Amino acid sequence: MKKFKIAAVLIAVPLALNAAQSVRPTSTTILLAEISTYSFTVSWRERNNGDVTYTLIAATSSSLSPIVLSSTFHDPVSVSTNFAQAVIAGLQLNTKYWVSVQAQKVGNTPSLWSAADNDWTLANAPLASTAEAVTSKKIVLSWDAQGNPPTTKYEVTYSSDNFVNHLKTAVGFGANYTLTQATVSSLSADTLYYLRVRARSGGGDDSGYSNVITTRTQLGPAPNQPTSTTIAAVGAASMTVTWKEKNNGLLDYIVSASTDSNDLAGSIEITSTVTDANSGTKKIAQAVLSPLTPNTRYWVSVRAIEPDSVISAFSAPDEAATLAETPIAAFTGVFISSLALNWASPAVDASGFKVQLSTDASMTPPVVSQNAGGAVTSAIISGLHGSTTYFVRVGAINPDNEISYSAVIATTTKPAPPPLPPLSETPTLTKAIAVTHASLTVAWKEKNGGDVSYLVVASTDPDDIAGSIVSSATHRDPLSNVDEITTTTVSGLSPNRAYWVSVQATRLGYRSSDFSSPNSTMTLAQAVSPVFSHVTSSAITAAWNIPPGGASGFVFELAGTFDFSSALSSSSRNAPVTALAIGNLSPNSVYFGRVASINTEGVFNWSSIITTQTPPAPFAPPAPAQRPELSAIVGITTGSAIVSWKEKNSGFIQYMLVAALDNNNIAGTIVATRLLTDAGSQINKVATATLSGLMPNTLYYLAVSASRGGLSFDNFSLPGQIVTLANPPDDLDALRQGPGSYLVRWSAAGNPSDTAYELSFSPDNFTAVVSTPVPFSAKFTGTKAVLSNLGTGLTYYVRVRAQNKEGKTGAFSETLGLFAQPPPSASSSTVKPGLAAIVVPVNDTRLDFGAGAMRNDAVIYVSTDPVNVPIEVNPVLIQDAVNRLEGKQLLAGLIREFLAVEQGNQRVERFGAPVTLEISYAAHDVDRDGIVDASVPAISVQELAIWRLDEAKGEFILCAGSRVDTGRRAVICSLEHFSVYAVLAQPRVLSAAQDVYAFPVPWRPNDADASNGTAAGITFANCPAQGNIAIYSLAGDLVRTIGLTGAAQIIWDGRNESGDFAASGVYLWRVEDGGSSKTGKLMVIR
């Protein structure tokens, strides 16, 4: 609490100064502005200007002596009209102080002290420490003064409702009470009271209240303890309780249900109070406790209480468990031979569940009755018949093994599908027998009789015929004969390209066959349409355009006869040029010409024949033109260049711009030309033209020749050397080679075979991370390369670019998105995070994902044959680890590989919670005798375990916690991450009594179910070579003794020593082999 007051204004009279002293400041005015428990805030009018230091003092007398505390306050820019303020701290609680201020300006003597002001500091709020109920009417309250001096006055108040409506003062300030303990009297018995205290300073200011402290006044003695507490009836949420009262008169009985028999009071979950105004010592009372938690064990007890008395002790408790809540069942899948259902888990987990199936709505008798654990909320019932109505119910089991059944639900299984028709026979001897640039004629040998339709395809991938079809044709033969040869033509193909042809047969009423073994062939390069671009009396030049699809090269032929029986030729077999010339011809003669396009396999496709006549030899050739001077070559692309030259002639001049392959033989190695005419040529005039038709990444020598009249272009300029740029590669694709390995292929796009390529890939589409497994420095000139060690399930982006002979880099190809996926035969399923999920990729393998196992949506890949169909792990490593097994056997077909890939193609390295792997060995124990079928020596299924491949060591290691569930005929273990897992056995010789076991148990010889045993009897397996088996009743009477003969299995036919059938019931058996023994239990149900 704070208070405020104004001090008087004081005017000081200045003293006379010595001549050497400055004028002393005038007195200040002080203001006692704010008071707390340990400090005052003081303000005053400065009354001085300039640099002034103020001294503030506090004393406990008006004479200001002795001074208790002092502090200084420096103001370098005092203004006489301003108010200053300072805090003087460190004062004592509830104490009266006088405060004064003195000013001293720099260079002057101190001023007089201001008139003193005074007040009390505040008292601290006390701390209530104890409240003791002395009797049922009195409470003694003690508190701590919290530093207040002994003269401090206190007030004590109390309340029965925490000072809401009820408030009384036990000790008031008017009593001048200064002690720290007080007695509060005249209280009610067994009542909770709230008490507090506060202090008052000498200045009359009250402190805050202390903390509130509570206590209850005492009670009278307890009544008699009730007896004979009994739980008379139990429901899912209630219990009916009876007891003997053992008291007379008006009493309340508190009936409570506790969850701990050793702590009835501390584990009470619910209570019910019953009032009886006419209690009797032998009177039986009753109450209902509700609501209780279903499926929970309770201990119920009763206590008695009289008004204003202590409650009695608990009666001896009775115990029982509430029933489990009735589940609500629903079908989640209806199939031909199985049903899938789930049910809502009760609010309190049941101890277990019982699933019953019957063909009768009354559920009598149940055809299937199976138990499930308390955490299980789904089941699959198999072994059913198609098109059959079944009735199902689910019961929740409480700790006392009492069952609460759901309502009966019914459904009808699906009918079994009709059998698939047989496969057609696959054609053989598929071959392309006729080839053009756009079509292939295919022949094959038929392998089916009757009405058969054939699908003839041309594909680009021999490993994926169906997935890479580019064109197809159909052919129907209503009268097919086996081994008959049939043909048809596939059109619409691209020229100069490799294809694989295959045939699929579909016989009427049969399924389609597989595609026949493919045959590879290549279409022809498309024929060109040549023209004679230049004809002289002794030479002819033919020109043409590069056909669609390109060509590996061209051949130009000239002949004097139409049948080309004696032809001259000029060729460029490895470079697709656009012009060729043939010289040494006869003047004034007729010539026939044709051009062949050569495909990649070297096969010719001739053009149509064209004809021309050489002119007569000139009688007097004109004066040769001066050769031009080549000045610049710019604008070089993949197929052209811009050439500039200085003309060296005047008048009407023709120019031939050429590209040649030999610097020393320009005229003889021309591969591209362009004719230009300048009717106004001038010496040193600069001419410019673009020469096209060049091949990418090729060294050319460019030159210019001038001619008068166009009769001779022999005098070429000095050539300029260029290398055209390389074309960007195209047709980029990829083929999977193995785990994390892909063959990347591309088309050279017309680049020569010595073109260098760079292959790069990136997981982020070349944003930040780029890898270049094939750099230009490797001088790689092929058109396919292998990318390996790619993370399975991740997406990579691949691109290629080319470099010309001068080291200039071309543009990138289109980017190929490559998903490094597991093999097509691997199974996959999706798992959602936060939910329990089950993945069953094959019938013998099961993965259970608990809540929290996956943090994001994930795809689970499963390979059931990782040696031949791997996902990610090197199959050679797997096979080597299998070969290195010592003392262990791999169960055939029980090896699995798993991979999990989250959103964003991130592989899951470790689970957030354990995942359970279950692999069934049922196919290896078909007769359910507990021995691995055909194992020599015999291997018990108890010796099976799941082992994990340690990729670093290259060996299998045992999975921690691997166990065998003989009921499910499965091996189970928990996984922390995915890898390769296998079911292995450690064989040992079964020869001791401890290895003996009996089956089936129970034995139902009259039951039609073969799994319950046949009429032959109960089989004892793994029997030692000598000894005996004795069978006893539960009373200990010997029923039958069977001697061991050395056979591994002995059958008890269910008869006693007299040859009579043993009655239904439980029996004990004991086997002894002289050195050891073993005891077991049997059950016979007739």
Q: What is residue 596's predicted lDDT score, i.e. its pLDDT?
A: 93
Considering 90, 120, 150, which residue would you say is the last residue of a domain? 120
Asked if 833 and 977 sit in the same domain, the reply is: yes
DSSP characters over 25-56: PPPPEEEEEEE-SSEEEEEEE----EEEEEEE
Tens of pLDDT, residues 144-182: 999 999 999 999 999 999 999 999 999 999 999 999 999
Confidence of residue 85 (pLDDT cuts 50, 70, 90): confident
Give the mean model confidence (pLDDT) for residues 843-850.
80
Give the mean model confidence (pLDDT) for residues 844-872.
81
Q: Give me the phi and psi of 962, to 5 degrees please.
A: -65, 135
**Range in 279-283, 441-445, 1043-1047 the model is least confident about:** 1043-1047
- Could you give the residue ranges of the DSSP H alpha helices within 742-784? none
The structure tokens listed for 1057 are 């020593």
Give the mean model confidence (pLDDT) for residues 99-107.
88
Calculate what percentage of the chain has a pLDDT beyond 70.
92
Give the mean model confidence (pLDDT) for residues 44-73.
88
**Has residue 277 got a pLDDT over 80?**
yes
Is residue 420 in a domain? Answer: no
Asked if 923 and 831 sit in the same domain, the reply is: yes
Q: What is residue 720's predicted lDDT score, i.e. its pLDDT?
A: 93
User: Do 469 and 516 touch, CB atoms closer than 8 A?
Assistant: no
Is residue 257 in a domain? Answer: yes
Asked if 517 and 649 sit in the same domain, the reply is: no
Tens of pLDDT, residues 1011-1052: 566 678 898 887 887 889 999 998 888 999 999 887 778 899
| Rounded-to-10 torsion of CA 598, 603, 609, 611 | 50
Asked if 843 and 949 sit in the same domain, the reply is: yes
Q: What is residue 725's predicted lDDT score, i.e. its pLDDT?
A: 96
| Rounded-to-10 torsion of CA 622, 628, 634, 638 | 40
Give the mean model confidence (pLDDT) for residues 104-131.
88
Asked if 302 and 187 sit in the same domain, the reply is: no
Is residue 222 in a domain? Answer: no
> Residue 1017: which of 1082, 1071, 959, 1078 has the closest Cα?
1082
Is residue 19 in a domain? Answer: no
Task: State the CATH number of the domain containing residue 1005.
Answer: 2.60.40.3080
Is residue 1049 in a domain? Answer: yes
**Has residue 593 got a pLDDT over 50?**
yes
Who's near 22: CB < 8 A, 6+ residues apart?
105, 107, 108
Residue 418 pairs in a beta bridge with none
Tens of pLDDT, residues 907-957: 777 888 888 999 999 889 888 888 888 887 778 888 899 999 998 888 999
Considering 165, 194, 216, which residue would you say is the last residue of a domain? 216
Instruction: Report the distance separating Cα 630 and Cα 645, nearest Å.
Output: 4
Q: What is residue 5's predicted lDDT score, i.e. its pLDDT?
A: 37
**Has residue 8 got a pLDDT over 70?**
no
Tens of pLDDT, residues 1059-1085: 899 999 999 999 998 778 889 999 888
Classify 1002 as helix, strand or coil. Answer: coil
Who's near 271: CB < 8 A, 6+ residues apart?
254, 255, 256, 257, 289
DSSP letter at 931 equals: B
- What are the CA-CA distances from residue 304 to residues 221, 239, 262, 286, 329 (Å)? 12, 19, 20, 14, 45
Confidence of residue 14 (pLDDT cuts 50, 70, 90): very low
Considering 120, 143, 163, which residue would you say is the last residue of a domain? 120
Q: What is residue 517's predicted lDDT score, i.e. its pLDDT?
A: 95
Q: What is residue 18's predicted lDDT score, i.e. its pLDDT?
A: 38
Q: For 442, what's the count of Cα atoms within 13 Å in the CB-facing half-sphere? A: 38
Q: What is residue 1012's predicted lDDT score, i.e. its pLDDT?
A: 61
Give me the residue label for tokens 């119910």. 393
Calculate what percentage of the chain has a pLDDT beyond 90.
49
Give the mean model confidence (pLDDT) for residues 83-100.
89
Q: In what order do the strands lie in the sheet with 845-849?
A: 837-842, 845-849, 915-920, 970-975, 963-965
Asked if 635 and 555 sit in the same domain, the reply is: no
**Has residue 500 got a pLDDT over 80?**
yes
Tens of pLDDT, residues 687-706: 999 999 999 999 999 999 99
Is residue 24 in a domain? Answer: no
**Has residue 1053 got a pLDDT over 80?**
yes
Give the mean model confidence (pLDDT) for residues 511-523.
94
Asked if 972 and 842 sit in the same domain, the reply is: yes
Task: State the CATH number of the domain containing residue 834.
Answer: 2.60.220
CA-angle at 510, arms to 506 and 516, nearest 5°: 40
Instruction: Report the distance separating Cα 748 and Cα 750, nearest Å.
Output: 5
Asked if 814 and 891 sit in the same domain, the reply is: no
Count of domains observed in the chain: 10
Asked if 859 and 977 sit in the same domain, the reply is: yes
Average pLDDT score over the chain: 86
Asked if 844 and 965 sit in the same domain, the reply is: yes
Asked if 802 and 839 sit in the same domain, the reply is: no
Tens of pLDDT, residues 740-774: 778 899 999 999 999 999 999 988 888 888 889 89
Task: State the CATH number of the domain containing residue 509.
Answer: 2.60.40.380
Instruction: Report the distance separating Cα 61 and Cα 116, nearest Å.
Output: 10
Give the mean model confidence (pLDDT) for residues 775-785.
91
Give the mean model confidence (pLDDT) for residues 442-463.
94
Regarding predicted confidence, which is higher, 63 or 7? Answer: 63
Confidence of residue 12 (pLDDT cuts 50, 70, 90): very low
Asked if 841 and 977 sit in the same domain, the reply is: yes
Instruction: Produce one character per residue of 501-531: b if its CB has 16 or more CB atoms within 10 Å, e if not.
Output: bbbbbbbeebeebebbebbebbbbbbbbebe
Give the mean model confidence (pLDDT) for residues 468-490.
93
Task: State the CATH number of the domain containing residue 798.
Answer: 2.60.40.10
Is residue 408 in a domain? Answer: yes
Regarding predicted confidence, which is higher, 10 or 377? Answer: 377
User: Do 614 and 536 touch, CB atoms closer than 8 A?
Assistant: yes
Q: What is residue 1016's predicted lDDT score, i.e. its pLDDT?
A: 82
Which range marks the domain in which residue 751 is found? 730-819
Q: What is residue 990's predicted lDDT score, i.e. its pLDDT?
A: 56
**Has residue 976 got a pLDDT over 50?**
yes
**Range in 106-110, 648-652, 968-972, 985-989 the model is least confident about:** 985-989
Is residue 221 in a domain? Answer: no
Q: What is residue 1's predicted lDDT score, i.e. its pLDDT?
A: 43
